[in-house]
């Protein structure tokens, strides 16, 4: 009974401190404009299964993809053991599922142990890649400081989880042989039987019960630590990659969203029906997060910070300041800043105003957004279908159409398009070349 009370109390305390941060993320995403999901529901489910659950794009780089798969599968199947730990913690029993699901129980635990061992190897590889080999995309300027340490924190947590699983299972098997009335037989867990159980049958035998509880608690506390830490970490993508890929862009690569106000003017200029005028003054592009849609903000919180987008960006490769990963990180950081300071309000028409006098342009420079070649390399590279190009284009549109800014080298082109409906400043109409004598 005492253990159950402590277990419930610890869980409640972690939930009390963690849940407000999750709600803050939901509030941050809701600052964006409502946006309908593109494409069919069937295609959206297919994208989620292929890219979030199936990790399809991870294998574009096979080595990283395989090792990431080990960690990912270990995470998925370990949740089954976490469910059992939760039930045992509330009930005060040991191994709730042992003896209730027959041979399936040892099969699952053995699978979890094998995947955990593979995840341990993968974790070591990733730590070496980041800290010893220093792979270039993990040492870009935007990852300096906390973002770089964040990945190491999670990897160390993975190691603690694997060690606790193997030690807990080894101690348990030793105790099940001696006290079958207290510790129900769950079958043989071969990896822990080989690696850790011999110690609990030998010099650690007097402390087997203590160690089983110690590593049982350590495993659960690390899980709770992950739950409390994830909203502050890039590893929030563990959850958000699924809705992010579900709502991911389904239109053809390189296809830009039309600007309704501009389309109306062009149609009118060409003698076509422009359609009904807008109710409000048209706004073009985005200067801040409340001008972006909620899907874009959701994707910002789904970013894994893996840097594949930046490593594929030709502008970045040639020394330009543009980093698509930084663009997405800046959106997320701006969202957190606005919510933390409560510097926004809802207007009567349902739209949102941000009141702190800042914008995305305080984080993302014009040099960055105009360095983009719109080649879509970043979009193609992202494992969870994030679209950095969308925000870059929206910020460009705001800068050019709302501020009258933009590179001076573009002015001639824009003036020619406006006056001649052609890219080049040439006399005569756009279609004069079609006329015959």
CA R_g for the chain: 28
Q: How far apart are CA 61 and CA 54, in angstroms?
A: 15
pLDDT surpasses 70 at 232: yes
pLDDT surpasses 80 at 357: yes
pLDDT surpasses 70 at 298: yes
pLDDT surpasses 70 at 429: no
Write the pLDDT tens digit of every residue in 128-153: 999 999 999 999 999 999 999 999 99
What was the pLDDT predicted at 277? 67
Mean pLDDT of 254-269: 74
Burial class (CB within 10 angstroms; exposed 0-12, middle 13-18, buried 19+) of 41: exposed
Least confident of 16-25, 27-36, 194-203, 274-283: 274-283
Can you tell me which residue has the tokens 């990945």?
151
pLDDT surpasses 80 at 434: no
- Could you tell me which residues come within 8 angstroms of residue 115 by beta carbon, excluding any fewer than 6 positions away? 70, 73, 74, 77, 78
Mean pLDDT of 232-260: 84
Q: How far apart are CA 98 and CA 50, in angstroms?
A: 34
What was the pLDDT predicted at 267? 78
What was the pLDDT predicted at 343? 87
Write the pLDDT tens digit of every residue in 81-101: 899 999 999 988 889 999 889
Q: What is the pTM of this model?
A: 0.89
Write the pLDDT tens digit of every residue in 378-387: 999 999 999 9
Q: What is the mean pLDDT of the chain?
A: 90
Q: CATH topology for 286-404?
A: Fumarate Reductase Iron-sulfur Protein; Chain B, domain 2 (1.10.1060)
Write the pLDDT tens digit of every residue in 107-118: 999 999 999 999
Beta strands in 125-172 (DSSP E): none
How does residue 433 score in pLDDT terms, banded at 50, 70 and 90?
low
- Could you tell me which residues come within 8 angstroms of residue 304 by beta carbon, excluding any fewer than 6 positions away? 234, 235, 237, 241, 383, 384
What was the pLDDT predicted at 437? 52
How does residue 208 score in pLDDT terms, banded at 50, 70 and 90?
very high
Mean pLDDT of 255-279: 73
Instruction: Map out the domains of the chain as residue ranges.
Output: 2-246, 286-404
Write the pLDDT tens digit of every residue in 404-423: 888 888 888 888 877 777 77
Write the pLDDT tens digit of every residue in 181-204: 889 999 999 999 999 999 999 998
């Amino acid at each position: 009974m005492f253990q159950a009370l402590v277990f419930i109390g610890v869980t409640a305390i972690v939930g009390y401190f963690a849940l407000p941060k999750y709600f803050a993320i939901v509030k941050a995403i809701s600052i964006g404009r409502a946006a309908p999901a593109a494409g069919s529901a069937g295609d959206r489910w297919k994208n989620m299964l292929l890219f979030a659950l199936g990790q399809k794009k991870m294998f574009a780089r096979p080595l990283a993809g395989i090792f990431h798969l080990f960690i990912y599968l270990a995470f998925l199947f370990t949740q089954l053991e976490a469910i059992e730990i939760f039930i045992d913690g509330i009930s005060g029993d040991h191994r709730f599922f042992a003896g209730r699901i027959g041979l399936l129980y040892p099969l699952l635990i053995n699978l979890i142990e094998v995947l955990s061992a593979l995840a341990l190897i993968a974790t070591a590889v990733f730590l070496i890649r980041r800290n010893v080999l220093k792979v270039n995309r993990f040492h870009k300027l935007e990852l300096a400081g906390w973002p770089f340490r964040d990945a190491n924190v999670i990897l160390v947590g993975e190691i603690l989880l694997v060690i606790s699983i193997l030690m807990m299972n080894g101690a348990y098997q030793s105790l099940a042989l001696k006290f079958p009335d207290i510790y129900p037989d769950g079958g043989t867990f071969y990896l822990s039987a080989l690696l850790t159980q011999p110690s609990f049958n030998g010099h650690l035998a007097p402390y087997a019960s203590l160690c089983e509880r110690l590593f049982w608690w350590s495993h659960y506390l690390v899980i709770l630590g992950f739950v409390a830490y994830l909203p502050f970490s890039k590893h929030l993508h563990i959850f958000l990659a699924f809705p992010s890929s579900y709502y991911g862009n389904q239109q053809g690569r390189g296809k830009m969203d039309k600007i309704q106000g501009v389309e109306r003017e062009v149609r009118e200029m060409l003698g076509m029906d422009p359609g009904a005028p807008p109710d409000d003054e048209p706004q073009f592009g985005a200067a801040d997060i409340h001008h972006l849609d909620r899907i874009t903000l959701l994707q910002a919180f789904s970013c894994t910070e893996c840097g594949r987008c930046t490593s594929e960006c030709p502008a970045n490769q040639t020394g330009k300041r543009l980093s698509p990963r930084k663009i997405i990180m800046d959106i997320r950081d701006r969202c957190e800043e606005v919510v933390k300071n409560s510097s926004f309000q809802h207007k009567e028409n349902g739209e949102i105003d941000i009141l702190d006098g800042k914008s995305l342009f305080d984080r993302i420079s014009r040099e960055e957004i105009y360095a983009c070649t719109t080649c879509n390399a970043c979009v193609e590279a992202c494992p969870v279908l994030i679209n950095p190009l969308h925000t870059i284009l929206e910020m460009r549109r705001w800068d050019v159409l709302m501020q009258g800014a933009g590179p001076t080298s573009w002015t001639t082109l824009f003036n020619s398009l406006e006056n001649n409906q052609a890219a080049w400043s040439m006399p005569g109409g756009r279609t004069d070349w079609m006329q015959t004598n």
